[in-house]
């Protein structure tokens, strides 16, 4: 039976994997977070993997505070780069398959067509740079049967995220300003979690491959917010603004749409449309309130 180590299990994706794991009795899971496994301690990672006979690692751990990363560069690098290097080196040494989650922020957002996996990277902030450094460290360590999945705009019924923030603000305010000139695709973490577990037994042998995954469709943050309010019957008015009217410490990509043909064709999967996934997530949020 495959023994799967999940890091960052208290985050959005890790929590969705925990929610799903009973539906995959063919796998044995070890869920860890920063309290139970310090992935910046290579010796701790080595001993944990060896002691539990780990065959697969799903690395959900990440420093994701995009603006804060501009000030806390060392912290972001330690989690997004150095820890990934340690995981990859341990995976290569112990013949463990590694699934690592990365981001559309490795691109500069200047494209006008969806990014494919081989497009040139050019991160514009510390978060994207450290995530790209983590990707490159993994590629250098080259653990067999491993993949990098770049995703975008992740949200969930767990943790803090854009959907939950908008639900809260929409109920507190009469109007809300949201940027309309940043384009991408929301990704429901539950869909990504299910994809990972479905493809895990079929990862290509002896390679490290990069794939892109998000839900289907394209929208702006303004469109995303409008849909959240429409599906939740929230009457707050949403006004579109330009990014320059909402300055942030870190520059966001103006265009982060990912081309998913590679993962769809390789694994013969159908990806849900973001509207449909958003409605499913909103229902889950409501269920958890009861």
Q: Which residues are catalytic?
A: 127
Q: Cα Rg for the chain, rounded, in angstroms?
A: 19
Give the tokens for residue 55.
Answer: 């065959």
Strands 175-179 and 183-184: unpaired
Helices (H) and strands (E) in the chain, counts: 10, 12
Look at residue 98 and give its three-state secondary structure: strand
Segments of the chain assigned E as strands: 3-7, 28-31, 56-59, 97-103, 146-151, 154-155, 175-179, 183-184, 187-188, 208-212, 219-220, 237-241
Residue (of 234, 216, 212, 215) closest to 225 by Cα position: 234
């Amino acid at each position: 039976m495959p023994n799967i180590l999940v890091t960052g299990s208290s985050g959005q994706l890790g929590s969705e994997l925990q929610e799903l794991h009973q539906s995959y009795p063919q796998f044995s899971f070890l869920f860890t977070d920063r309290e139970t496994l310090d992935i910046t301690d290579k010796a701790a990672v080595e001993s944990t993997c060896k002691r539990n006979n780990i065959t697969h690692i799903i690395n959900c751990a990440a420093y994701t505070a995009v603006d804060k990363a501009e000030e806390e560069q060392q912290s972001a690098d330690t989690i997004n780069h150095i820890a990934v290097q340690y995981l990859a080196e341990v995976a290569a040494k112990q013949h463990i398959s590694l699934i690592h989650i990365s981001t559309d922020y490795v691109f500069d957002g200047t494209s006008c067509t969806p990014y494919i996996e081989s497009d040139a990277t050019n991160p514009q902030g510390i978060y994207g740079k450290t995530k790209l450094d983590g990707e490159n460290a993994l590629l250098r360590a080259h653990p067999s049967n491993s993949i990098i999945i770049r995703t975008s705009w992740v949200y969930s019924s767990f943790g803090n995220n854009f959907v939950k923030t908008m639900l809260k603000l929409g109920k507190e305010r009469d109007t809300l300003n949201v940027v309309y000139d940043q384009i991408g695709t929301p990704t429901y973490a539950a869909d990504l979690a299910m994809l990972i577990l479905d493809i895990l037994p079929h990862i290509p042998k002896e390679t490290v491959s990069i794939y892109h995954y998000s839900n289907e469709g394209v929208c702006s943050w303004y469109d995303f917010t409008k849909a959240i309010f429409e599906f939740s019957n929230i009457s707050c008015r949403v006004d579109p603004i330009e990014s320059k009217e909402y300055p942030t410490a870190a520059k966001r990509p103006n265009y982060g749409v990912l081309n998913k043909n590679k993962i769809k064709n390789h694994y013969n999967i159908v990806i849900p449309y973001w509207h449909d996934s958003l409605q499913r997530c909103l229902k889950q949020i409501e269920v958890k309130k009861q």
